[in-house]
Every structure is written in structure tokens, then in C-alpha cells.
Structure 1
Amino acid sequence: MAMFFDPFTEFGRLTSSLSGGQAGPRFMPVDLYREGDHYVLNADLPGVDPESVDIDVDGQLLTIRAQRTADIQNGVKWLSQERPHGSYVRQFSVGEGIDSERITAHYENGVLSVLLPVSERAKPRKIEIQGGAPREQAALRS
């Protein structure tokens, strides 16, 4: 079995141990792709209560916040507790090509999906070519 060293995971463990387990916001892995006339952002948030998820757009900044609460069991002696809990935060610059009024989201099986529609003005469009002489040249000839 091959093992590898992940410096980011090790740094997170070190930070967590130095701060008494009270690390800052957790990392939220995402996939982002374009499908037709919208972008799809899928964020892994396993074990997160959908009621704790907050998505907002302020200008061109999309922010996703979520909270995963610790598993509290009275009267148990933990042997290992590796599943992360705490706050999750990610921010994305969405640009002017997104119709922020029509952004939608849903949460299913631990995955938050955010649909970001492309605005009408950012969609490619065909330019019709007129036949004959351009209007300015036709006016000059008269």
C-alpha cells in the first residue's frame, strides 16, 4: 500500500493541535463546470445540516457558509474523533457574466449544488450581416 504525505493536511492537524482543536474555517472542496447556459458548483459538505448553509451574493462575490456540529455523546470515552466539525467558508468571484438574481441551490446526499445562470448579455450571439453597401457609404454617394 502506497502512502503519501499531504502537507496541507499535516498543517491543518498542527494548527488544530496548537489551537486546542479550535481551528479556523474548514476547507470545503468544490467542483465547478459549465453546462449549457449555466455554471454548476458542487461543494462537499457531508454531515452538514442544510439549515446551517448560507449562500449570499454581494456584488460579484459569492459566499458559501456552513456549520457542522460536533457529535456529542454523553457518557462515552472517545478513542478517535477524526471527522471534522466547525465552520466552512468559501468565496468565489462570479464576474458580471452571471445572472445573480436567478442563482439557485439544493443540498442532497452531503453535496451542495449551486446553479449560476449565465446572464443574457454574456451569452454568445450571432451577428446578422446586412447585404449591399453599408449605410454610411450609401449616404456619401447620394
Structure 2
Amino acid sequence: MLRFDPFTEMDALARGLLSGQPTGSTRTPRFMPMDLCKVDDHFLLTADLPGVDPGSVEVSVDNGTLTLAAQRTARSDDAVQWLANERFSGTYRRQLSLGDNIDAAGIEASYENGVLSVTIPVAERAKPRTIEVRQKDSPRSIEAESTS
């Protein structure tokens, strides 16, 4: 089970707006679009990160929080005269709280064609299982002997 905290995203946005520090570009990443679904015995998270530096993609788990981070480097050629500069550059970061029924040690991630895929397995103790129903011994019938 995953819980989403919308206030984390709002806090990051507020920090970015209130910091007042120039980043070289006024277009810094504000959002990492993602999908999350449950497939069989695991969750699958996919996040769009087109154009990020593959070596900058990081996925970590700490104290029940899954953190996704990546960096897209801005073009640093000073001789460039921009006609349009609409692509975001900078650091992308997203955090999700993991539920107690997640196998954090089994999380796996891959990055291909601009999409980060994270497989989050459900812990064995949380998987559905069938409980065997045992029957108690049926009462034995006692036959009386006649003493006539």
C-alpha cells in the first residue's frame, strides 16, 4: 500500500518560489508525472523523465519513504541566443510514503527511453493466502452393551 502526501509537492513548490535564488534558467522542474498501479503481487510506478541524464537517476528508500530524483542539465553555451527556452532543467524529486506491507528490500528500478520504472513488491506477510480449515475429531458414538 502506498500513501500519497500532496503537501510534500506543495512544500517543494513553495520553497522553489520563495527561495529567490536564480538557477540559470527560470524553467526549473516543478512536477514529475507518474502512474502507479497494482499488478499481481507488486506495485508498478512509472515516471516520465525525458531528457534527464541517465547517470543522475536515483531511487532510494529510507524509513518508509521512497525517493525518486533525477537531473536534467541545462545547455551552458553562453554563445547561444535563445529563440525559445521551454524545456525544464534542474533537479526532479518526488517522494512517496510506503505502507507497512511493502518489501522495501525487493524494490527494483530501471530507466529506459525517458521512463523510470520502479517495481515495488508486496511483502509475503501481506499477500492473500488460503487458510486451511481443520476439523475437530467428530464425536465418537458410544454403544451401550445390554446386560440382560
Question: TM-score surpassing 0.5?
Answer: yes
Q: Which amino acid aligns with 1:94?
A: L
> Aligned partners of 1:74 and 1:91: how far apart in 2?
34
Q: 1:51: which partner in 2?
A: 55
CA shift digits 1:75-130 (9 cap, x unpaired): 22111100000111100011111111111000001000000011100101111111
Q: Secondary structure at the match of 2:85?
A: coil
> Paired residue for 2:37?
33
Structure 2 distance, partners of 1:77, 1:31, is 37
- Which structure carries more relative contact order (alpha carbon 8 Å, separation 6+)? 2
What's the offset of the Cα at 1:50?
Answer: 1.5
1:38-58 CA distances to partner (integer Å, 9 max, x unpaired)? 100000000011210111101
Per the alignment, residue 119 of structure 1 pairs with 123
Q: How far is the alpha carbon of 1:61 from its aligned partner?
A: 0.5
Q: Secondary structure at the match of 1:46?
A: coil
Identity of aligned residues (%): 51
Structure 1, unpaired ranges of 5+: 1-10, 135-142
Structure 2: segments with no counterpart, 5+ residues: 1-12, 139-148
> 1:79 — aligned with what?
83
The residue number in structure 1 matching 2:8 is none
Structure with greater helix share of residues: 1
Code of the aligned partner of 1:132: K
Question: Whose Rg is larger?
Answer: 2
Aligned length: 122
Q: CA separation in 2, counterparts of 1:59 and 1:19?
A: 31
Give the distance between the partners of 2:108 and 2:27, measured in 1 at CA: 30
**Deviation of residue 133 (structure 1)?**
5.5
Q: Answer yes or no: is the 8 Å Cα contact 2:66–2:96 preserved in 1.
A: yes
Inter-CA distance 68–78: structure 2 relative to 1 (3 Å threshold) = same
Output aligned runs, 1:96-135, within 5 Å.
Answer: 96-132=100-136
For residue 33 of structure 1, what is the amino acid of its counterpart? C
Q: TM-score, normalised by structure 1?
A: 0.75
